[in-house]
Chains A and B, each alone.
Chain A
Amino acid sequence: MVEVIIAGLMAGALILYALLGGADYGGGVWDLLATGPRAREQRQLIADAIAPVWEANHVWLILVLVILFTAFPPAFAAIGTALHIPLTLMLVGVVLRGTAFTFRHYDDQHDQVQRRWSLIFSIASIITPILLGVSVGAVASGNIRAPEAGGSFIWPWLAPFPFAVGFLALALFAFLAAVFLTVEAGDRALADDFRRRAIWAGIAVFVTAGLALLLARRGAPIIWEHLLRGRWAAPLQIATALAAIGAFAALWTRRFRLSRLLAAAQVSLILAGWATAQFPWLVVPEHTIQSAAAPDSVLRPLLVALLIGALVLAPSVYTLMRVFKGVKS
């Protein structure tokens, strides 16, 4: 039982990473695509929105990783072995995104210097989520095998389904970023720029999600089966659809705070839907939550540590958001 709770907390941390860290990557996408008379203002808004929070948001990923290797060591070993290539490339993206963003902020404000850092920052912001999605897709695909069992280092991830998940991740992050930025924009014209972008990104989410779903039939049969017939599938999918429609409607009518809430709900529900569809597997089909779990003598103290850590973390993150994101108490 305790291992299921910890797996749930891990999924929760991953959802928070997608909502917070994901939006920072999405900001990089809109930095690259900044156009029109307000391109400079768009870039400035993105930079101001990301700067104080991106490092804290990034730690959710570390937390997911640490929970995975503490609570489910064989699953971590299997993922590290089979997905060496996409994860290594993702790390290069993580390094370039973070450092280029910081260097841009502290380097000379000449246009040419700034453009160079912007380019590295935004391209890394696009590649990293794709590779993260590819890795998640490969874990779900059911094609990861131990090397002793003839597992390949390439084919589990270099396939249509994982890449569809990669593009879905990129679309989700870009969507979240655009919606969040409508709230943070100071004036109406700038908010409308990101409203338009949010609508387009929402359509991209719809298309890539549909594509991933279609490809799942052959690319991730177990997930496909669970998405169709799982006990939680129908209610989650209906809730996701309602959140998506609501987010669109709120964007359309310029109720940006409401759309921020609904977009976050939509993304959380999509990820929760995937997590429940993959249950009880951690790495389909070789490692389940049960089979990969560390002994209870490890899991119980870990659970306590996570709960105490959450008690420390919650007020800290709340403070951060209150100071910089105007979250009302």
Chain B
Amino acid sequence: MSDLLAARSQMAVSLIFHIVFAAIGIAMPLLMVIAEWRWQRTGDEEYLTLAKRWGRGTAILFAVGAVSGTVLSFELGLLWPRFMGYAGAIIGMPFSLEGFAFFTEAVFLGVYLYGWGKVSPRAHLLSGVAVAVSGMLSGIFVVIANAWMNTPAGFTLVNGVPTDIRPFAAMANPHAFPQTLHMTLAAYAATGFAVAGIHALLLRRDPNNGFHRKACGIALAVGAVTAVLQPFSGDIMAKAVARNQPVKLAAFEGHFETRRGAPLHIGGWPDETKGETRWALKIPKGLSLLAFNDPDAEVRGLNDFPRENWPPVAIVHLAFQLMVACGTVMALVGLWATWRRWRHPVSWPASRRFLLALALSAPLGFVAIEAGWIVTEVGRQPWIIYGIMRTEDAVTPMPGLIVPFLTFTVLYLLLGAMTVWLIWRQVIASPRGARHG
């Protein structure tokens, strides 16, 4: 394995691991705050149990997210020092703002988790709100930095050196809005569906358990609303990619020949050597319509670009298909949930078929997030800064990078297993009498 591949693999493992906890860290505090708010409004103790349970889960997952996020911020320099030496000044601003948002999140999470009875109920709820808001903001700031890597802005290149750096213009890059919107909705949808699905599974065994019903209800409300909105943000995102990264869009679709009225490929396998996508369901003019709002618009194909600037087409295409498929199922389940809530407000959400659908779609949001980041990151290759710096020019000269890659892979595998086990034992299992907070 070459050092470049080892560095990329280590970065991939670190991101694949961290993004799960980052998404949960954005969304879980919202669920926790809703539960506490319901408790303060209704006095129903089951909501309090729920708020404390979710708080405990948030604490465990936030800790893993915080340390794996620390690893990532160091890895920017440990693996990609030339990238950071070049771009650190340009994208430092969103990272600095993220630092303060993360600070606020950590401070108020401490107050929230350990402040029961030490601060007034109102201050306690507000601490939870502060955690939820700053968690969302820190996610947004980090994604803005990633958006800059896709659509660099806010500087002028003079002889290959970035000059006239304008940090806020760099933050307002063309992908900043679509990417942050898409990822923020994804975090709520994925977490909402995962939590709702787990409690739906438990409700199938124990249909009248009020605790699981309340948990499922809150999580599903958050998950369904965001899952239904997500296809619209996906459309905004895809149109931005079509404008700014045409070669990436062509890889999404396995679209090789430039043409007007380009068809949309659903499924299929793009064959890079033959330059065609086989076994795909083709929807005539679909791609032109989706990418440019015009069924006859011209969509540039991969063959328009030099081969050395192609991302790995098959991986990007399959990941894109997987993400869209998961998102579509979630949006449909979200619509079904809305319809059921409207028709059967009393028995909601308990119908065995509906609960089964929820349980089955529990992992879909996280599958979609992982696939989506593969689309973003692998789709940007061979560039680390799109059109400006190639990934191979950014990597550290340090030899033997396979060692840290394997180290972090093993570490994260163990940590992931421990976390799942702990969450299952200490958070999800039905309440069984009093326990420490």
A contact set with B: CB distance below 8 Å: 51-53, 55-56, 58-59, 61-63, 65-67, 69-71, 73-74, 76-81, 84, 87-88, 91-92, 94-96, 98-99, 101-103, 105-109, 147, 153, 294-295, 297-298, 301-302, 305-306, 309, 312-313, 316-317, 319-320, 323-324
Give every chain B residue within 8 A of A101 (Cβ-Cβ). Answer: 63
In contact, A70 and B96 (Cβ under 8 angstroms): yes
In contact, B84 and A103 (Cβ under 8 angstroms): no
Q: A55-B66, A102-B63 are in contact. Are A306 and B110 (CB under 8 A)?
A: no
In contact, B78 and A301 (Cβ under 8 angstroms): no
Shortest beta-carbon distance, A61 to chain B, in Å? 7
Query: Which label, helix, strand, loop or mixed, suits the secondary structure of the B interface?
Result: helix
Closest to A310 in B: B100
Contact of B398 among A73, A78, A81, A102 (CB under 8 A): A81
Shortest beta-carbon distance, B107 to chain A, in Å? 4
Which among B95, B99, B118 has the highest number of chain A CB atoms within 10 Å?
B99
In contact, A316 and B398 (Cβ under 8 angstroms): no
B383 at interface by CB-CB < 8 Å: no
Shortest beta-carbon distance, B270 to chain A, in Å? 36
Contact of A312 among B104, B113, B118 (CB under 8 A): B104
Interface string of B84-103 (1 = CB under 8 A from A): 11111110110111111011
Closest to B77 in A: A80
B119 at interface by CB-CB < 8 Å: yes
In contact, B73 and A95 (Cβ under 8 angstroms): no
CA distance A248 to B338 in the complex (A): 67
Contact of B164 among A71, A91, A99, A297 (CB under 8 A): A297
Q: List 19 A-B contacts (CB under 8 A).
A: A52-B113, A56-B107, A58-B66, A69-B76, A73-B87, A73-B92, A76-B77, A76-B84, A84-B398, A87-B78, A95-B68, A101-B63, A102-B59, A147-B397, A295-B163, A297-B165, A309-B96, A309-B100, A324-B118
Give every chain A residue within 8 A of B326 (Cβ-Cβ). Answer: none
Contact of A69 among B66, B88, B110 (CB under 8 A): B88
B140 at interface by CB-CB < 8 Å: no
Give every chain B residue within 8 A of A295 (Cβ-Cβ). Answer: 89, 163, 165
CA distance A117 to B348 in the complex (A): 42
CA distance A319 to B96 in the complex (A): 22
In contact, A312 and B114 (Cβ under 8 angstroms): no
Give every chain A residue within 8 A of B252 (Cβ-Cβ). Answer: none
B340 at interface by CB-CB < 8 Å: no
Task: Give residues of chain B (277-294) contacting chain A, Cβ–Cβ below 8 Å.
Answer: none
CA distance A76 to B95 in the complex (A): 14
B111 at interface by CB-CB < 8 Å: yes
Task: Give residues of chain B (155-194) contacting chain A, Cβ–Cβ below 8 Å.
Answer: 163-168
B contact set with A: CB distance below 8 Å: 56, 59-60, 62-64, 66-71, 73-74, 76-78, 81-82, 84-90, 92-93, 95-100, 102-104, 106-111, 113-115, 118-119, 163-168, 396-399, 404, 407, 411, 415, 418-419, 422, 425-426, 436
Give every chain B residue within 8 A of A312 (Cβ-Cβ). Answer: 100, 104
In contact, A305 and B96 (Cβ under 8 angstroms): yes
Query: Which label, helix, strand, loop or mixed, suits the secondary structure of the A interface?
Result: helix
Give every chain B residue within 8 A of A153 (Cβ-Cβ). Answer: 398-399
CA distance A281 to B114 in the complex (A): 42
Q: A67-B96, A69-B76, A316-B104 are in contact. Are A323 and B62 (CB under 8 A)?
A: no
In contact, A99 and B93 (Cβ under 8 angstroms): no
Q: A52-B111, A76-B85, A92-B407 are in contact. Are A81 and B95 (CB under 8 A)?
A: no
In contact, B103 and A95 (Cβ under 8 angstroms): no
In contact, A51 and B96 (Cβ under 8 angstroms): no
In contact, B110 and A52 (Cβ under 8 angstroms): yes
Give every chain B residue within 8 A of A96 (Cβ-Cβ). Answer: 411
Closest to B426 in A: A106
Shortest beta-carbon distance, A162 to chain B, in Å? 18
In contact, B167 and A302 (Cβ under 8 angstroms): yes
In contact, B67 and A94 (Cβ under 8 angstroms): yes
Contact of B404 among A71, A77, A88, A317 (CB under 8 A): A88
Give every chain A residue within 8 A of B71 (Cβ-Cβ). Answer: 91, 94-95
In contact, B84 and A69 (Cβ under 8 angstroms): yes
CA distance A91 to B79 in the complex (A): 13
Give every chain A residue within 8 A of B107 (Cβ-Cβ). Answer: 56, 313, 316-317, 319-320
Shortest beta-carbon distance, B268 to chain A, in Å? 40
Shortest beta-carbon distance, A36 to chain B, in Å? 26
Contact of A319 among B111, B114, B404 (CB under 8 A): B111
CA distance A79 to B85 in the complex (A): 11
Contact of B86 among A59, A71, A73, A313 (CB under 8 A): A73
In contact, B426 and A107 (Cβ under 8 angstroms): yes
Give every chain A residue within 8 A of B102 (Cβ-Cβ). Answer: 59, 62
